[in-house]
């Protein structure tokens, strides 16, 4: 994920960027309770999503960065948001891939002339995303000999794109995700791997 950086510093002198969890002017994030006030980027402006309202960072006198958004369970979003999508909702559950299958499928355009064209598009997109992941790894190794945090964020984003197309392909082919997983587990067992 590519986070946009603002030109605003917090009280400790750190540059504020989208995705940062902040305390600002009495609005306190509570990491233990999974209550986050998250910096978002909307129409060229950085702000906070406190109480579901977009509040520009310039409205705050004091801002303290206390964390960064990771492993989102759910996010509030409208069609107007860019970058990270709005309010981070209080959520204690772990992400279950099966909960997100329907969301990925419902958001995919099905305006294709034929089933073959649909399937070809999805498989081509899968290959493209694999190439994007390989490119990030190659650049990281070439530049510094390791995968930096920035490169890792980019790889996470590309893996998300891969998963999106993969889920839509298995849906189009009427293949159940559980069948895919069970098939792989059985194959590993046959090869003698401990499961």
Domains within the chain, CATH numbers bracketed: 1-93 (no CATH), 97-190 (1.10.287.1080)
Angstrom distance (rounded) from CA 91 to CA 117: 39
How far, in Å, CA of 67 to CA of 20, rounded?
6
Diameter over CA atoms, the chain: 62
128-145: pLDDT as tens digits? 999 999 999 999 899 888
Q: Sorting pLDDT into bands at 50, 70 and 90, what band is 74?
A: very low
pLDDT tens-digit series, residues 46-70: 888 776 678 899 999 999 998 877 5
Which candidate, 95, 103, 111, 104, places its Cα nearest to that of 161? Answer: 104
**Three-state DSSP state, 101:** helix
**Average pLDDT over every residue of 79-95:** 39
CB 79 within 8 A of CB 43: no
Closest among 14, 78, 6, 87 to 45, alpha carbons compared: 6
Q: Whole-prediction pTM value?
A: 0.53
H-state helical runs in the chain:
97-106, 115-144, 149-172, 177-190
CA nearest to 40, candidates 78, 72, 86, 5: 86
Cα 168 from Cα 156, distance rounded (Å): 18
Using alpha carbons only, give the angle 188, 189, 191 rounded to the nearest 5 degrees: 65
Q: 36 pLDDT exceeds 50?
A: yes
Nearest CA-CA partner of 29 in 81, 72, 69, 82: 69
User: Residue 39: its pLDDT value, please?
Assistant: 84
**Are 62 and 25 in contact, with CB atoms under 8 Å apart?**
yes
Please state, in angstroms and rounded to a whole number, the distance separating the CA atoms of residues 64 and 28: 10
């Amino acid at each position: 994920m590519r986070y946009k950086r603002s030109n605003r510093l917090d009280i400790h002198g750190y540059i504020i960027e989208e995705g940062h969890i902040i305390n600002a002017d009495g609005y306190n994030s509570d990491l233990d309770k999974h209550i986050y006030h998250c910096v978002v980027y909307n129409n060229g402006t950085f702000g906070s999503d406190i109480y579901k309202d977009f509040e520009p960072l310039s409205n705050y006198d004091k801002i303290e960065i206390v964390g960064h958004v990771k492993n989102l369970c759910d996010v509030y979003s409208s069609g107007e948001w860019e970058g990270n999508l709005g309010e981070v909702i209080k959520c204690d559950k772990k992400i279950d891939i099966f909960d997100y299958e329907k969301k990925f499928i419902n958001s995919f355009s099905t305006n294709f002339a034929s089933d073959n064209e649909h399937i070809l598009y999805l498989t081509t997109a899968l290959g493209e995303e694999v190439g994007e992941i390989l490119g990030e790894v190659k650049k990281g190794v070439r530049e510094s000999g390791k995968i930096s945090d920035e490169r890792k964020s980019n790889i996470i984003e590309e893996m998300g794109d891969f998963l999106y197309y993969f889920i839509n392909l298995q849906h189009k082919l009427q293949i159940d995700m559980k069948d895919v997983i069970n098939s792989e587990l059985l194959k590993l067992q046959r090869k003698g791997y401990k499961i």
